[in-house]
Amino acid sequence: MNQPQIQIPLDLPNVRVENYEQTDKGLVITVVSICTTAACRQCGRTIDKFHGYDKAITLRHLPIFDRPVWIRIRPKRFQCRYCDKGPVTTQRYEWYEPKSPHTKAYENWILRELINSTLSDVSLKRDLGAECIEGILDRHIQREVEWSAVPHLALLGIDEIALKKGHKDFVVIVSGLTAQREKYILAVLPDRKKETVKAFLKTLPPRQCQSIRHVCIDMNEGYCNAVLETLPKAQVVVDRFHVAKHYRDCADKARKAEMKRLKQTLPESEYRELKGAMWAFRKPWNNLGEEQQVVLLSLFRQAPILKEVYVQREVLTGIFEKDLTKAQAEQALTQWLDRITELGLDCFSPFATTLSNWRDHITNYFIRRETSGFVEGLNNKIKVIKRRCYGIYNLGRLFQHIWLDVQGPRTFFPEH
């Protein structure tokens, strides 16, 4: 009985199908080149003196209806009329790389499969060895940034992550944003030393040095000095959320101290009424439910100092929320410092010292309101990559996986 048939393009230019057969290995399609010239491997000229065929090669191609497909071809050979001794050149085809056992289309498909996945998962699903997939990765994705593929960056982010939790084996992640808010991974550096960060920043092409206007960091002096010494035109911006964590921790320590005192002085029944005070204290008043507001007011009655701490913490948050200029922000922060001194809120003293040391870089936030939000998002993605891979300690391989998850969708799915 005749089977229904359809035609499917192979997307292999300059060849025609000569034969196909179904084998235990899959569908094997034999093709021949329709090109009648080649470029001489010595002089580079176009040559057309046919000199026979090279030995047959078989390449894995995209599957059809989940069936493996193999392309078999005997490359043509041509002899040069212009060079001494007439060297022979084997014809090359744009749809595969020499020494690769796959077509380019197949390897791009495997790379798409690797996005948000692991080598072992793709190896299992596509019946490929892990070493084979690693070879595909290394042929198509560099282990460090290719600056020619990175457009002009407007913002740089520098932060660290631990490769292994609890072991302090930190690596530094350098990433960038374009003016259109496209994210790029730039480096995975082996340590947090100033010299290491500075050495990488010195490798930035001049066009990137000219375009980068802001660099977001946490309060790390090594990062700051490395940026100031290598990118004099860029402004260092201390991430406002790192700043917020600092002063909120100060407020929380005051709450813990007061709660400890109240536990020792209040009757058990009254202390029980303060259950849930921690979460109520950490939230803005407008975000609290009625029950949480009642608990927070009870806490303020028992520990009036916490009311002032809570209010001043929210006042400081409000400063960062307002649309202020850098000068206005500096004035508002000075007034806030004067106010906490007047109220005797010593719990904020560590933050006051930090603010004094980093004031200029903290208030740079108000120029363009840049934050390290994109850096923290990238850090979360990297944590997922590490969990997915059950740990990954080769920095070059880690860079490739980050590149795939961050830039892979734009590269391999441009229509989306």
* 204 SS3 class: coil
Q: How far apart are CA 221 and CA 159, in angstroms?
A: 12
pLDDT at 175 over 90: yes
pLDDT at 2 over 90: no
Q: What is the pLDDT of residue 235?
A: 95
pLDDT band at 208 (very low <50, low <70, confident <90, very high): very high
pLDDT at 167 over 70: no
Lowest mean pLDDT among 161-165, 177-181, 398-402: 161-165
Q: How far apart are CA 223 and CA 185, in angstroms?
A: 17
What are 260's two structure tokens? 């400890």
Q: How far apart are CA 11 and CA 153, in angstroms?
A: 35
Computed over its alpha carbons, how large is the radius of gyration of the chain? 31
Give residue 372's Cα distance to chain centre.
Answer: 12
pLDDT band at 416 (very low <50, low <70, confident <90, very high): low
Q: What is the mean pLDDT of residues 42-53?
A: 94
Angle (nearest 5°) at CA 160 between 155 and 166:
165
Question: Strands (DSSP E) along 232-334, which ranges?
Answer: 235-238
Average per-residue pLDDT for the chain: 93
What are 408's two structure tokens? 């892979």
Q: Please answer whether residues 27 and 70 qualify as being in contact, where contact means their C-beta atoms are separated by less than 8 angstroms.
A: yes
Lowest mean pLDDT among 38-47, 162-171, 187-196, 248-257: 162-171
* Long-range CB pairs of 51-58, under 8 A, 24+ apart, other chains included: 51/77, 51/78, 51/79, 51/88, 52/76, 52/77, 53/77, 54/90, 58/28
Q: What is the mean pLDDT of residues 305-333?
A: 96
| Phi, psi angles (nearest 5°) of residue 165 | -60, 130
pLDDT at 121 over 70: yes
pLDDT at 415 over 80: no
Q: Please answer whether residues 341 and 335 qualify as being in contact, where contact means their C-beta atoms are separated by less than 8 angstroms.
A: no
More confident residue, 10 or 257: 257
Share of the chain above pLDDT 70, in %: 99
pTM of the shown model: 0.85
Segment 230-289, tens digit of pLDDT: 999 999 999 999 999 999 999 999 999 999 999 999 999 999 999 999 999 999 999 999
Segment 58-76, tens digit of pLDDT: 999 999 988 999 999 999 9
pLDDT band at 166 (very low <50, low <70, confident <90, very high): low
Q: What is the pLDDT of residue 182?
A: 93
Q: Please answer whether residues 71 and 113 qualify as being in contact, where contact means their C-beta atoms are separated by less than 8 angstroms.
A: no
Q: Please answer whether residues 33 and 45 qualify as being in contact, where contact means their C-beta atoms are separated by less than 8 angstroms.
A: no
Q: How far apart are CA 17 and CA 195, in angstroms?
A: 58
More confident residue, 375 or 167: 375
Architecture in CATH for domain 147-239+381-412: 2-Layer Sandwich (3.30)
pLDDT band at 220 (very low <50, low <70, confident <90, very high): very high
* 166 SS3 class: coil
Lowest mean pLDDT among 27-36, 362-371, 372-381: 372-381
Sheet holding 67-73, edge to edge: 15-23, 26-33, 67-73, 57-64
Lowest mean pLDDT among 13-27, 124-138, 384-398: 384-398
Q: How far apart are CA 416 and CA 412, in angstroms?
A: 9
Taking CA atoms, 373 is separated from 57, 151, 284, 324, in Å, by 50, 20, 21, 20
Share of the chain above pLDDT 90, in %: 82
